[in-house]
Amino acid sequence: MQKTKQRLLTGNKAIAEAIRLEMERDPNVFVMGEDVGVYGGIFGATEGLFQQFGPKRVIDTPISETAFIGAAIGAAAEGMRPIVELMFVDFFGVCMDQIYNHMAKIPYMSGGRVKLPIVLMTAVGGGYSDAAQHSQTLYATFAHLPGMKVVAPSTPYDLKGMMISAIRDDNPVVFMFHKTLQGLGWMDQLDASVGHVPEEAYIVPIGKAKVVREGTDITIVGIQMTTHHALEAAKKLEQHGIQAEVIDLRSLVPLDRETILQSIKKTHRLLVVDEDYLSYGMTAEIAALAAEEGLYDLDAPVRRLAVPDVPIPYSRPLEQFVLPNADKIFHEAMKLVNE
């Protein structure tokens, strides 16, 4: 009975719906970026918006990332609420100054006068043989630098709710969506890329993690694809009599430390999984949190599973070797519970 009430949307349609609802509500919200207009964004996150709102509010820009992010800063200071799509997170290198020196710091340097309600939306993730410069998942790079909120929702429901939160937030928000969770026809089809999304506008708060599976024996922390891999691993662990608790971080900044600490109080074991590089990354941050504030709750050392410190390989088998997946999580978890 419940099933029939479900309204199934892919990740990209959930994002586009959130933007549409906010554009209808607030005339100051507009979208710009490369191919976001007629084409609807190469990952479909702005599909249908151009047709509804026209070229004044859904703007195809020159291939000029520095320009449109810089222009978004000026427009936001003048009272607009721009949503800019930086096509691939990998491209931040060509426009990083505008992101971390300007978008992230002008509010501070203006003594709090200038507010920059910008959503910087960008695609992350590999797994489809797109090589070293189009497959990265650079969560930590942005989360490291003060002045931006950084979110990475994992389900269509959260993509919509967190996009609405991001648009309404008065701070710059880096909104990362995972390509594989967009529901694109040319990618591997995943159940996780489709989910129930209510029609109306709703909010999923930024800075709040979610326990997506309760368990008692081990805590697995993930985000986006690694959350889904962890859930799959948890099913297999259950067959071995192990109850894994899975936490979907959803936000990197602010980080919901309480949910993690609460969980390890219960499970006494922590495995952190990340699709970003291993060193100096999210896994290290959470391991440090556990060491500083939860050490006495742990029965075994924290384990980390992330991409080794090499660029993402182009070759499919090589890429699959470095990316985390359910099997690798299962094996790490088994080792950890047996320690």
Partner 1 sequence: MFDQSQLQFEMIQLLDENGNGDEKELASFSDEFLVTLYRWMRKARVIDERLLKMQRQGRIGTYAPFSGQEAAQIGSVLALEKDDWIFPTYREIAACLAHGLPLAQIFRYVRGHLSGGRTPEHLNIFPIQIIIGAQTLHATGCAWATKLKGETQVSVCYFGDGATSQGDFHEALNFASVYQVPVIFFCQNNQYAISVPVHRQTASRTIAQKAVAYGMKGVLVDGNDALAVYKTMKKAVDAARNGEGPILIEALTYRLGPHTTSDDPTKYRNAEEAEQWRSKKDPLRRLRVLLERRGIWTEEKEEAWVAQVNDEVTAAYEEAAADETGSIVDAFNYVYGKPSKLLQEQQEDARRKRKQEVK
The angle, 0 to 180 degrees and rounded to 10, between the axes of the packed helices 11-25 and 156-168 is 30
- Distance in Å, CB of 254 to partner 1, minimum: 4
Residue 290 in contact with partner 1, rule: CB under 8 A: no
Q: Is the CB of 30 or the CB of 43 nearer to partner 1?
A: 30
- Distance in Å, CB of 231 to partner 1, minimum: 27
Residue 196 in contact with partner 1, rule: CB under 8 A: no
Compose the 61-100 pattern: x for residues touching partner 1 by CB under 8 A, - for all others: xx-x-xxxxxxxxxxxxxxx-x--------------xx--
Residue 109 in contact with partner 1, rule: CB under 8 A: yes
Using the contact rule CB under 8 A, the part of the chain among 142-150, 211-219, 294-302, 329-337 near partner 1 is: 142-150
- Distance in Å, CB of 240 to partner 1, minimum: 36
- Distance in Å, CB of 75 to partner 1, minimum: 4
Residue 149 in contact with partner 1, rule: CB under 8 A: yes
* Of 102, 134, 228, 229, catalytic: 134
- Distance in Å, CB of 159 to partner 1, minimum: 22
* SS3 sequence of the chain: CHHHHCCEEEHHHHHHHHHHHHHHHCCCEEEEECCCCCCCCCCCCCCCHHHHHCCCCEEECCCCHHHHHHHHHHHHHCCCEEEEEEEEHHHHHHCHHHHHHHHCCHHHHCCCCCCCCCEEEEEECCCCCCCCCCCCCCHHHHHCCCCCEEECCCCHHHHHHHHHHHHHCCCCEEEEEEHHHCCCCCCCCCHHHEEECCCCCCCCCCCCCEEEECCCCEEEEECCHHHHHHHHHHHHHHHCCCCEEEEECCEEECCCHHHHHHHHHHHCCEEEEEEEECCCCHHHHHHHHHHHHCHHHCCCCCEEEEECCCCCCCCHHHHHHHCCCHHHHHHHHHHHHCC
Residue 208 in contact with partner 1, rule: CB under 8 A: no
Q: Is the CB of 61 or the CB of 193 nearer to partner 1?
A: 61
- Distance in Å, CB of 25 to partner 1, minimum: 17
Of 254, 209, 224, 197, the residue nearest 20 (C-alpha): 197
Binding residue (CB under 8 A) for partner 1 from 48, 198, 207, 301: 207
Binding residue (CB under 8 A) for partner 1 from 6, 52, 110, 320: 110
Active site residue 268: no
- Measured CA to CA, the distance from residue 242 to residue 285 in angstroms comes to 26
Using the contact rule CB under 8 A, the part of the chain among 121-129, 152-160, 163-171, 311-319 near partner 1 is: 163-171
- Distance in Å, CB of 313 to partner 1, minimum: 30
Q: Is the CB of 205 or the CB of 311 nearer to partner 1?
A: 205
Residue 51 in contact with partner 1, rule: CB under 8 A: no
Residue 102 in contact with partner 1, rule: CB under 8 A: yes
Residues within window 30-49 making contact with partner 1, judged by CB under 8 A: 30
- Measured CA to CA, the distance from residue 124 to residue 279 in angstroms comes to 18
Binding residue (CB under 8 A) for partner 1 from 33, 37, 44, 107: 107
List of residues 6+ apart from 261 with CB closer than 8 A = 289, 290, 293, 294, 297
The angle, 0 to 180 degrees and rounded to 10, between the axes of the packed helices 225-239 and 326-337 is 50
Binding residue (CB under 8 A) for partner 1 from 144, 196, 208, 257: 257
Using the contact rule CB under 8 A, the part of the chain among 216-224, 247-255, 295-303, 329-337 near partner 1 is: 247-255
In single-letter form, the type of residue at position 59 comes to: I
Binding positions for partner 1, rule: CB under 8 A: 28, 30, 56, 61-62, 64, 66-80, 82, 97-98, 101-102, 106-115, 146-147, 149, 169-171, 207, 253-255, 257
Residues with catalytic annotation? 134
